[in-house]
Structure 1
Amino acid sequence: MKIAIIGTGNLGKSIAKGLINTNAITTLYLTKRNTDSIAEFDGYKNVNLTTDNALAVKNSDIIILAVQPSHLEGVLKGISSLLTENHVLISTVTGFSIDKIETIVGADQFIIRAMPNTAIAVGKSMTCICSNLKGTKRIKVAEAIFNRLGHSLVIPESQMQAATVVCASGIAFWMRLIRATTQAAIQLGFDAKEAQELAMHTSEGAASLLIANGHHPEEEIDRVTTPKGCTIEGLNEMEHKGLSSSLIQGMIASYNKISNIRKEQV
């Protein structure tokens, strides 16, 4: 694949590393206003660093837009005249709808939106993807890219805000749960390093069980709990204190916030 990443900041760098490490490219162009900040990629075979977005677009088939939201409109206007019928546009920019992109570059382009999370840096992102009507013909291209960087799911654009909460903000929610588990382990006698190690790998194991066997979480809970045992005692105490309710309400609050921000932007 001949790919250009326009705006190689933290997210763009993570995508680039994943593509390079999985041999997903034949040619890769990385653009940045100051290429010194992406000098770590200098010397990689078939990787080109440039400040020229036009050069990157002309030499690529797939264009991944990873700029700041306030910069995207200007970037699109700058490259729109260079786009051909074969180019695939993949935007990772939050809050910039497909309609807005179409207004600038036209509805006859393959346009895809992708919402990765910060775990993309370690190849474990849960990335949600949607497209315009024409983009459905190239959605598999986006899936192939982001499946190399974790896992992807195609959803309607109307669900992208919810996906932002569940997947992007969700990283922070899970971090808080891991942090709380770490604190409990410290109180139970482990030192801080050991406590975090226990919390991290136990949470990884729990998720891995569900990914591997496709079970409902309650099935795995039933495997761990015994009548009058310590596990059910702890679970019941957590529920009495509102664990599930607090998590659900927190996610709904995040969704309401992002929805209000979107309304203000319209």
Structure 2
Amino acid sequence: MPLKGQSVGFIGGGVMAEALISGLIKSELITAENIFVSDPDTERLMLLKEKNGVNTVENNIELVKSASILIMAVKPQVIDEVLSEIKAHINKNHWVITFAAGITTGHIENHLGEIPVVRVMTNTACLVSAGASALACGSYAAAEHAEICQEIFKSVGKVVTVKEELLDAVTGLSGSGPAYMYVIMEALIDAGVRVGLPRKIATELTVQTMLGAARMVMETGRHPGRLKDMVTTPGGTTAAGMYELEDGGLRVTLMNAVMAATEQSKRISERLK
């Protein structure tokens, strides 16, 4: 067990932190008594304590003194304030995991010194243990830090490792990706209603169809294009539908959406430097 004998501290107790806390406890990577949370919202802390049995602390300094793995679960615009606050209390036993958008490992190293940092880009599906996360190690992070970070995020979904310069692309694809899927899902549901299906049935069929398609790719290991061809009979209904998708430019539009989101992520990172 990678987290045996260690303690985890969440600086920030928002919904993503709550998802990770729940995943860690359910997967038995660590017990609630070894998890600490700080947050300026005392009601939020009370909720986390009552729901998960974790330790809540009054401030970030107390949290740093209680935990060795520090997870930065705060908004990018306040992270510099947090880093300045805890800097004097960081020692050789500490290391940092951050999923604050646009905050590089180098940015944190510049504030805290030669400390291991692992940066993660994840998405909201962590809330239902189906997240897609990518991690990148900073200059001082070793294989053991990457392994522990992988285990933490595996508790709420899938994890891959990439070079840090690719995290903007990850943001554009899987970070923003759930929103793209929701738009497609909503359009399919509305189309089902337009051709006569009750909205409840159209919703159930659409959701299950998207889930089934994803599972087919994951469990068969086949290329999506090959699976598409298996459904598309020459001269059939799917072929007619596919023609309309190509004519409407759906494929290019989705590719452009990923590229636009990637470029916006790069611009945000530049502004935060």
Is 1:258 matched up with 2:265? Answer: yes
Match of 1:118 among 120, 124, 133: 124
Does 1:7 pair with 2:3? no
Identity %: 28
> Is 1:167 aligned to residue 197 of structure 2?
no
Deviation at 1:43, TM superposition (A): 4.0
- Structure 1 equivalent of residue 95 of structure 2: 88
**Other-structure match for 2:60:** 53
Instruction: Say yes or no: does 1:239 pair with 2:246.
Output: yes
Which sections of structure 2, spanning at least 5 residues, go unmatched? Answer: none
Q: Is the 8 A contact 2:101 2:121 kept in 1?
A: yes
Counterpart among 205, 226, 230 of residue 219 in structure 1: 226
Residue 21 of structure 1 is aligned with which of 26, 30, 50?
26
- Kindly indicate whether residue 78 of structure 2 is the aligned counterpart of residue 71 of structure 1: yes
* C-alpha separation in 1, matches of 2:267 and 2:136: 22
Please give the alpha-carbon distance, in whole angstroms, between the structure 1 residues aligned to 2:96 and 2:175.
21
Q: Which of 13, 24, 37 pairs up with 1:30?
A: 37
43-52 vs 109-118, which deviates more?
43-52
1:140 maps to: 147
Q: Match for residue 202 of structure 2?
A: 195
Partner deviation per Cα, 1:88-134 (whole Å, 9 max, x = no partner): 2000101111111111111x211000111111111111011001132
Compute the RMSD of aligned alpha carbons: 1.6
- TM score, norm. by length of structure 1: 0.94
Q: Secondary structure at the match of 1:208?
A: helix
User: 2: distance between equivalents of 1:46 and 1:257?
Assistant: 39
Unaligned 5+ runs, structure 1: none
Which residue is 2:137 aligned to?
131
RCO higher in 1 or 2 (8 Å CA, sep ≥ 6)?
2
> Is the CA contact 1:35–1:49 (under 8 Å) kept in the aligned structure 2?
no
Asked if the contact 2:102/2:268 (under 8 Å) is kept, the reply is no
Asked whether the equivalents of residues 5 and 64 of structure 1 are also in contact (C-alpha less than 8 Å), the reply is yes
> What is the count of residue pairs matched by the alignment?
265
Secondary structure of the residue aligned to 2:142 is helix
